[in-house]
Structures are given as C-alpha cells and as structure tokens.
Amino acid sequence: MYSIYRGGIKKIYPDKRPISISELIQRIINNPQADTINKIRQLRIEGDQSYKVLKKNLTYITPNCVLKKRDLKDKNNFLYSSGYVFLDFDNMDDVPAFKNEFIKRYGHIVSMVCISSSAGGISVLIKVDLDLTPDNFTSAWEHLVNDVFTDVASYIDKGTKDMGRAMFVSYDPDVFSNFDNQISLEPSVLKNTETKSFNEKGASQCITLESDLNTLSCTYPYSLLEYTEVHGQIITQTPVDVSNPVIDYNPVDFTSVRFPNKIKDGTKHRVYTLLIHYLVHLNPQLKPDYIYSFIYYLNKSKAEPRMDKTELQNLFKLVYNKTQAVGYVFDGTKIKSFHINRDAGLDKTDKMILMNKCNGKNRSKKSIDKILNAKSKLMSLNEIITQKRVAEISGVSLRTVKKYYHVAEPIDIISLTSDINKQYKYVSTVTTTFNTEYTSTNTTDVVRNVVTDDNDWKQLDSLF
C-alpha cells in the first residue's frame, strides 16, 4: 500500500485511504492527468523549463511507505512500510530502449517499471520480504543499488535513498508489472535491524571447522585447500580470444570480477557475497573447495580487519547453496563489445583511454543509426524532416538529435578498430602511441562489477 496525494507536491497530507499496487498500475495505464503529462513531456523535449511547474501539480505517492504526513523528520508520521523500494533511473539518451533492456534484464525480480512522468527516465518498484523503517531503509536501498542493480547503478537518482521520497504518478499504457516478483533481503544488510548474527544462525546449520584444513560438512561438502593448489585455477573474467594486435570488436556476454585492494569493515559481507556468485558463474567446473579457499585467502590478505573464520564459513555456505538452487539464474553479465590484446604492451591508462574512446564511438553509432532510420522513415512517408519529428520517431532525445542531425553516414566500428590496429606500434619496449583522436583525459574505469567505497581497484588474479 502507498499513501497517495492528490493536488500536487505542496500537499503533504495524503488521502485517508492508501492505494494498492494494482490500483497504482491501473492509474498509470489510464491516468486522468494524461494530457498534462504529455504536455510536460513535450515541453521537456523542447527544452522549455516550464514543464517543471506543471509537474508540481501532478498526483503523487510515497512509494516506500504509508504516512500520516509527508515529513519524516518527525518519525511519528511513519505508519508502515509499503513493502516496496522505489528506484528512479534517469539521464540516459534513449529512455524507451533503456526501459525495454531493463525489463529484459531485471523483469524477473522487479514489480513495476514505467516511463517517468517527464519521460526523462524510468520509475521502478521492487517488492522486498523484510519490513523497512526510516532507520534501516537506507541500508536496504544501498544493498539493492550496489549489489543487485550494479550494472545500471550510475543511472539511479540518489535522492530515492530518502524513504519519504515522492513519486509522481506517471502515464504509461505499456507499464510493466509482475505482482509475484519479490527480492529476499538478508537481515544482515539492514544495519539497524536487530537480528541474529551469522554465528547464531550457524548453530542450526551444518558447518564446522576445527582447523584450517578440516573438511566442512554441509549440503555441498568443501574443504580449505592449500594456497598453492588454488593458485592459477580460478578464472576471474570471461575468456575472450583476441586475434588483432591491439583490440577486437566482438560483442559478448562478459563477466569480470573486481574487488578493492583493501576490503574495509562494513563492506565484507557485500563484497564476498558478490564474489561467490561471480566466481561460481565463471568457474562452473571447479568444486566449491576452490571458491571457498579463494575467498578465505582473500579475506586473510586483503580484509581490514579479517572476517571471523566461522562467520566466513556460514556466509559461504549460505551464498553457495543459493547458487546451486533449482531455478537459480546468474544475473551479472553485461555486453562487452571491445577487447584488448593482453600482449599489446599497453599500460592501465592506455587501456582506459582506448576503451573509453571506442565505447564512446559505439554509443554514438547507436544514436546515429536511430536518427538515420527515423529520417528514412519520414522520407518514405513524405513528411517534412525536422529535428523534433526525428526525436519523436527515433526515441532519441532532442539534444542528441541536434548533436548528430547532420551526420550522413553511420559509424563503421569495424573500420575504426582496423585503423587502431594499423596505427599501433612500439616506440620503446612497452610504450605505445596512437593517433591524437584516441587521446583522452578521461580515465574512468570501464568495468566495475563489484562496487565498494574503495577506489583502488585490482583484478582478483593480482592476489597470487
């Protein structure tokens, strides 16, 4: 249930009767404010900031909770959790395409996805199985953002971390909904929830370890292996053959495991949980002994302070068993289009510059292709080709259409990578040079599948 506020954002007292998710979905499909919302979207496309004034008059809900009054500075206004967590995604070039891709990727775990009221992004509701309060909501929100929606976390509005955050009721006849979906939250992710510790829970589980090399007895038996036996056996990223001297263009489902150089207190459960999921996916042929031993030595050498041995065993058993459950589906892959030859002699900065440039060109290509297709469609319909109509037909933002409107030919990615490989040459034993077109001051890392607060990232294989 959600508190609903009719009359605009200035209204802080909700209707007496909250609404259900099914009622919310019906209102999004048949919104009586549809004309106003369409006007808001049109003004936004045109760059007219007056759309923000209209938006303030829309009906809204507090999607995370039911309240007496929308003011959680006074916790007496909190009645109960809605049972859902609201995430707002924005700042993408192609909202409809992002929505479709998001549903394809996460449609098995989210309850609702719709285009937002101003069409600048998407609004998402996730049903959770724990009661949330103003004290522990932030922990649950951070867990979902950092551990579940990792690959799209950069698009999430951090303002939704506020439990009392408002969500304008949108208009989207193609709203996605699945009332059966639910995400299970481990009580340990809620920092202010009184719950049993892993050690207490372990009393009812079958994990015991008297010394480092004893056998662990559980649903999936495993034991701690010697360091030398584990060394070199663990795969930390999807193997991809690179035939060119520098870079290949080959879009594949890709997974890469990363972790901070120092695993700080407060992040260990999250980091180790993700690592277990990723490592099991990347190493399906290995016995659990190898995965457990890898995490054990990682905890021993990188954690500050180390996780207690028994707690680590209990966590591993819990997470590993989930990866073996019937119906389990790993959801940590992403499409990686460009792959650098490890023998190219590039240092970390060279690689990041090159990958940023290539990925940027590829993103531009996708937008240009949509714009060119929209122009062709308008021409076939004998319509006047304008930037505004191209934006409407293509689904690309007007700003992006203006940027690429006069581009006449699509970008040839194959030729791009071919040129890079031809330009490559050694100028010393390890140094490389490229055309100035591939020089950049942007050195943002392009793969961060496991997110923590530490910016010192290294490949897992650097441990050994």
Q: What is the per-residue pLDDT for 34? A: 95
Separation between Cα atoms, residue 46 and residue 49, nearest integer Å: 9
Query: Residue with structure tokens 């799209």?
Result: 152
Separation between Cα atoms, residue 246 and residue 344, nearest integer Å: 5
pLDDT above 70 as % of the chain: 84
pLDDT at position 338 over 80: yes
More confident call, 94 vs 130:
94
Q: What is the per-residue pLDDT for 434? A: 42
Among 216, 201, 240, smallest CA distance to 337 is for 240
More confident call, 241 vs 425:
241
pLDDT at position 402 over 90: yes
pLDDT at position 268 over 90: no
Q: What is the per-residue pLDDT for 343? A: 87
**Mean pLDDT, residues 251-255 taken together:** 91
Please name the amino acid found at residue 22.
S
Token duo for residue 196: 């049993």
Query: Are the CB atoms for 98 and 104 separated by under 8 Å?
Result: no
Query: Residue with structure tokens 């934006």?
Result: 391
More confident call, 433 vs 245:
245
Q: What is the per-residue pLDDT for 349? A: 81
CB-based contacts of 380, cutoff 8 Å, min separation 6: none
| Residues 436, 438, 443, 445, Cα dihedral to 10° | -170
pLDDT at position 417 over 80: yes
Among 75, 8, 33, smallest CA distance to 170 is for 33
Separation between Cα atoms, residue 402 and residue 43, nearest integer Å: 16
The pLDDT tens digits for 88-128 are 999 888 999 999 999 998 998 899 999 999 999 999 999 98
Separation between Cα atoms, residue 266 and residue 269, nearest integer Å: 7
Query: Residue with structure tokens 């054990």?
Result: 296
CB-based contacts of 146, cutoff 8 Å, min separation 6: 153, 270, 451, 452
**Mean pLDDT, residues 250-255 taken together:** 92
Separation between Cα atoms, residue 278 and residue 236, nearest integer Å: 8
Q: Considering only 84-93, 406-415, 452-461, which range has the smallest mean pLDDT?
A: 452-461
Query: Are the CB atoms for 265 and 240 separated by under 8 Å?
Result: no
Indicate the average pLDDT of the chain.
Answer: 82
Q: What is the per-residue pLDDT for 189? A: 67
More confident call, 185 vs 391:
391
Q: What is the per-residue pLDDT for 247? A: 93
More confident call, 48 vs 195:
48
Q: What is the per-residue pLDDT for 220? A: 59
More confident call, 452 vs 284:
284
Separation between Cα atoms, residue 213 and residue 49, nearest integer Å: 66
Query: Are the CB atoms for 18 and 2 separated by under 8 Å?
Result: yes
Q: Measure Cα distances from 451 to 5, 85, 174, 204, 322 in Å.
A: 36, 20, 32, 31, 21
**Mean pLDDT, residues 364-389 taken together:** 94
Among 108, 340, 176, 115, smallest CA distance to 245 is for 340
**Mean pLDDT, residues 181-193 taken together:** 70
Query: Are the CB atoms for 277 and 333 separated by under 8 Å?
Result: no
Assign 219 a pLDDT band (cuts: 50, 70, 90): low
Separation between Cα atoms, residue 271 and residue 224, nearest integer Å: 20
How does DSSP assign 378-400, residue by residue?
A: HHHTT----HHHHHHHH---HHH
One-letter-per-residue 3-state SS of 294-335: HHHHHHHHHEECCCCHHHHHHHHHHHHHHHCCCCCCCCCCEE
Q: What is the per-residue pLDDT for 441? A: 30
Q: Residue 392: how many CA atoms within 13 Å on its side-chain side?
A: 11
Among 446, 457, 458, smallest CA distance to 339 is for 446
pLDDT at position 400 over 60: yes
Q: What is the per-residue pLDDT for 429? A: 40
**Mean pLDDT, residues 405-411 taken together:** 93
Q: Residue 115: how many CA atoms within 13 Å on its side-chain side?
A: 20
Length of the chain: 464
Handedness of CA 289, 290, 292, 293 (dihedral sign): positive
Assign 453 a pLDDT band (cuts: 50, 70, 90): very low
Among 144, 160, 198, 182, smallest CA distance to 451 is for 144
Query: Residue with structure tokens 């010192």?
Result: 456
The pLDDT tens digits for 35-92 are 999 999 999 999 999 999 999 999 999 999 999 999 988 888 999 889 999 999 998 8
Q: What is the per-residue pLDDT for 204? A: 28
Q: What is the per-residue pLDDT for 191? A: 60
Separation between Cα atoms, residue 374 and residue 392, nearest integer Å: 9
Handedness of CA 143, 147, 149, 154 (dihedral sign): positive
Assign 463 a pLDDT band (cuts: 50, 70, 90): very low
**Mean pLDDT, residues 354-383 taken together:** 92
**Mean pLDDT, residues 225-241 taken together:** 87
Token duo for residue 402: 């203006």
Backbone phi and psi for residue 415, each to the nearest 5 degrees, phi listed first: -65, -35
